[in-house]
Structure 1
Amino acid sequence: MAEYANRENKKIKWFTDWEKSDVPADLSSKTYAVTGTTSGTGLIFCRTVANRGATVYMLNRDSERAEKALELVKAGAKDPEKVFHISCDLQDFSSVKEAAAQLTKACPDGLDVLVNNAGVMCHPNSQTKDGYSSELQVNHLSHFLLTAEVWGLLEKKADETGDARVVNHTSGASQLVFMTAFFGFKRGVNPRYFEKDMKRVGGDGFVGRMQRYGQTKFANVVFSHALATKQSKVKSLVAHPGVCTTPLTNHHSDSQSPFMTRMFKKGFDKGEQSCEDGTMGILACACLATAGSGELHGPKSFNFDGLPAKSDIKNTAMGTWFSQKPEVSVEKLWEVSKKATGAIFPFE
């Protein structure tokens, strides 16, 4: 789309200098598995670590876009033979399980970092073959399942090196769950968005879409905090990109909400940062030696742009005294996610 192409050419403000000074120059001993890498932050992430010699598994649906992304990453990789495609459709739990099985076979020595990057924003209110909201399944449920399925790989690497990680990708929209305008006084994890009744997960209007998206992004935060508190062997971190130019909102040209289309296509244009700058958060979580479990990395205080700042997930992203208590959010999310996916974590 021409409109997106014009927005995409944002000037890189911090990324070039930051990656040279902060991201390790040699990642040849590291193995990364990343979802959603055909464009946006996922593609930039893969290009950055592959350029430093890492082994990279790009988890995408089979498509021409996936093939082009694979070739693009290979072209800039220090060793193109260490970059791979794994078929993974996040709208299909069986595909996620098969992708995990392929990863397990491909990584007998373990996995250093799983980056749950893929996401859709304010997607039309559609249902997957598994029965759930497509937005919820792509943004959270399938990542919950994938993480459980490859947990053994992460633990194996943690036992060997003392440093294996899961990185989730949230956004400032996670904080919508604390706004009375969107959720009244029912702040925090709302179980109805994790049900199969599409009449209860919001409609296609502006408020309904933002409610649904906010719940999925808060789920990313809570899932990260849950992993950090339920076990200590594998590090759990979450990143946010600020507001940056990615194809995340491309489908809004066909939206039933003209206001939303105008807001995301034009309203944020001057405040957006480049996609490269927006990728610094997940790179910090996945690559920095100083990054620790239970941390949030991204523009400070959920700002639109800026260098990645480190903060505590619980204190920064899980509400205040008048909100749902963090431990309540964790247990609610854990319960509904396990029920939906059938996932089992070894540490339970």
Structure 2
Amino acid sequence: MTRWTLDDIPDQSATCAVVTGANSGLGFETARGLASAGAHVVLACRRPDAGEAAAAAIDEAFPDASLEVRELDLASLDSVKRFARGVRQAHDGLDLLVNNAGVMAIPRRETADGFEMQLGVNHLGHFALTGRLFDALRRGSRVVSVSSIYHRQGAFDFDDLQWEDSYDKWDAYARSKLANLLFAYELQRRLDAEGVEMKSVAAHPGYAATNLQSRGPKEMGSRLRLLAMKAANALVAQSARKGALPTLYAATMPDVEGGDYYGPGGFRELRGYPEQVASTERSKDPVLAGELWRVSEELTGVSFL
């Protein structure tokens, strides 16, 4: 694959897109890239003031950008429900949903609904959001789930899904990122089984320098770990703008097929330009994916397909 950049995004002037976590990092760059190509972008943000600041920055770079800021807290199923209702009322339909927002390696906390925070935000919130927006997604639309190379370390224990018996912040993060891929692939299986003309695809950014990495050390109050993370970002990571390219490729390119997975094509997929990449056999396990889907429906109260 040749070096694919922002300049290669096809015209998106007919696209209505939702991007979660669009106020910073990868979400901001994804929203910026889509807006630069003419899409109407709904910036779904936990803090509306941060969303408005992000929209202003995009508008400054692209004065013709079509943007809309809406409050979404993926740690609250009530917030997900309100957000989806507002989007459905405001728009005739959606063409693209980018499930990007997330938290990484934080001390154990729970969402408003009692879920372990990383699984709750990274997977269950997005599962519920996709379900509540599903009927609004038009024929030919796409759902892009943003995972991580950390999915390779992910494993499931349904007897301790919420990490109540023991908790490791990195294992919990890996589980949530494995869940993103299990969901993306299972969604495509169900779309195919029902003959629905939509694509469920996934992407990961490699090692991209964003504020995601700093949240864990900040919540732990560890200045040393925060400094180490900043040093690693400076030495190893690629920019958030480049890290967003696999997501943008998955979201916009006509050669993308349902079930595809994109990431950086460089060394160990840490950095580089977008390419189709492989995920673990565990991420493709239909039995595991089916059980996760069942449990996700039960926990969120949202059923679709």
User: What TM-score do the two structures reach when normalised by structure 2?
Assistant: 0.91
Question: Structure 1, residues 275-300: CA drift from partner, whole Å, max 9, x if none?
Answer: 11101011011011111100001113
In structure 2, do the counterparts of structure 1 residues 193 and 259 end up closer, same or farther at CA, with 3 Å as the change threshold?
farther
User: Equivalent residues in 2 for 1:93-112 (5 A)?
Assistant: 93-108=77-92, 110-112=93-95
Residue 237 of structure 1 is matched in structure 2 by 201
In structure 2, do the counterparts of structure 1 residues 201 and 92 end up closer, same or farther at CA, with 3 Å as the change threshold?
farther
CA–CA separation in structure 2 for the residues paired with 1:277 and 1:192: 39
Instruction: Choose the corresponding residue for 1:131, options 104, 114, 119.
Output: 114
Residue 326 of structure 1 is matched in structure 2 by 285
Residue 230 of structure 2 is matched in structure 1 by 265
In structure 2, do the counterparts of structure 1 residues 201 and 287 end up closer, same or farther at CA, with 3 Å as the change threshold?
farther
Structure 2 letter corresponding to 1:242 = G
Q: Report if the CA contact (8 A) 1:243-1:272 is conserved.
A: yes
Structure 2 letter corresponding to 1:55 = H
Residue 70 of structure 1 is matched in structure 2 by 55
Instruction: Choose the corresponding residue for 1:116, options 99, 103, 112.
Output: 99
CA–CA separation in structure 2 for the residues paired with 1:129 and 1:105: 25
Residue 19 of structure 1 is matched in structure 2 by 6
Q: Which runs of 5+ in 2 are unaligned?
A: none
Query: 1:324: how far off?
Result: 8.3
Instruction: Choose the corresponding residue for 1:226, options 186, 199, 214.
Output: 186
**Hey, which of these two has a bigger chunk of strand by percent?**
2
In structure 2, do the counterparts of structure 1 residues 153 and 324 end up closer, same or farther at CA, with 3 Å as the change threshold?
closer
SS at match of 1:329: helix
CA–CA separation in structure 2 for the residues paired with 1:263 and 1:192: 35
Say if 2:156 is the partner of 1:189.
Answer: yes
Say if 2:70 is the partner of 1:83.
Answer: no
Q: Report if the CA contact (8 A) 2:261-2:276 is conserved.
A: yes
Instruction: Choose the corresponding residue for 1:165, options 116, 134, 142.
Output: 142
Instruction: Choose the corresponding residue for 1:339, options 295, 298, 302.
Output: 298
Residue 213 of structure 2 is matched in structure 1 by 249
Q: Report if the CA contact (8 A) 2:18-2:44 is conserved.
A: yes
Query: 1:327: how far off?
Result: 1.4
Structure 2 letter corresponding to 1:57 = V
SS at match of 1:237: strand
Structure 1 letter corresponding to 2:235 = K
Residue 307 of structure 1 is matched in structure 2 by 273
CA–CA separation in structure 1 for the residues paired with 2:299 and 2:228: 33
Q: Report if the CA contact (8 A) 2:185-2:284 is conserved.
A: no
Say if 2:25 is the partner of 1:40.
Answer: yes
In structure 2, do the counterparts of structure 1 residues 72 and 267 end up closer, same or farther at CA, with 3 Å as the change threshold?
closer
In structure 2, do the counterparts of structure 1 residues 297 and 231 end up closer, same or farther at CA, with 3 Å as the change threshold?
same
CA–CA separation in structure 2 for the residues paired with 1:48 and 1:338: 33
In structure 2, do the counterparts of structure 1 residues 85 and 229 end up closer, same or farther at CA, with 3 Å as the change threshold?
same
In structure 2, do the counterparts of structure 1 residues 324 and 172 end up closer, same or farther at CA, with 3 Å as the change threshold?
closer
Residue 184 of structure 1 is matched in structure 2 by none
Q: Report if the CA contact (8 A) 2:144-2:251 is conserved.
A: yes
Mean alpha-carbon deviation: is it higher for 279-288 or for 68-77? 68-77
In structure 2, do the counterparts of structure 1 residues 325 and 135 end up closer, same or farther at CA, with 3 Å as the change threshold?
closer
Question: Structure 1, residues 69-106: CA drift from partner, whole Å, max 9, x if none?
Answer: 122223333534x3101111111100001100111111
CA–CA separation in structure 2 for the residues paired with 1:173 and 1:325: 15
**Percent of paired sites with the same residue:** 30
In structure 2, do the counterparts of structure 1 residues 28 and 78 end up closer, same or farther at CA, with 3 Å as the change threshold?
farther
Q: Report if the CA contact (8 A) 2:208-2:233 is conserved.
A: no
CA–CA separation in structure 2 for the residues paired with 1:224 and 1:64: 30
Structure 2 letter corresponding to 1:147 = T
Query: 1:191: how far off?
Result: 1.7
CA–CA separation in structure 2 for the residues paired with 1:274 and 1:41: 9
User: What TM-score do the two structures reach when normalised by structure 1?
Assistant: 0.80
Q: Report if the CA contact (8 A) 1:193-1:200 is conserved.
A: yes
Query: 1:274: how far off?
Result: 1.0
Structure 2 letter corresponding to 1:148 = G
User: Equivalent residues in 2 for 1:284-303 (5 A)?
Assistant: 284-300=249-265, 303=269
CA–CA separation in structure 2 for the residues paired with 1:169 and 1:274: 16
In structure 2, do the counterparts of structure 1 residues 324 and 254 end up closer, same or farther at CA, with 3 Å as the change threshold?
closer
Say if 2:126 is the partner of 1:143.
Answer: yes
Count of aligned positions: 298
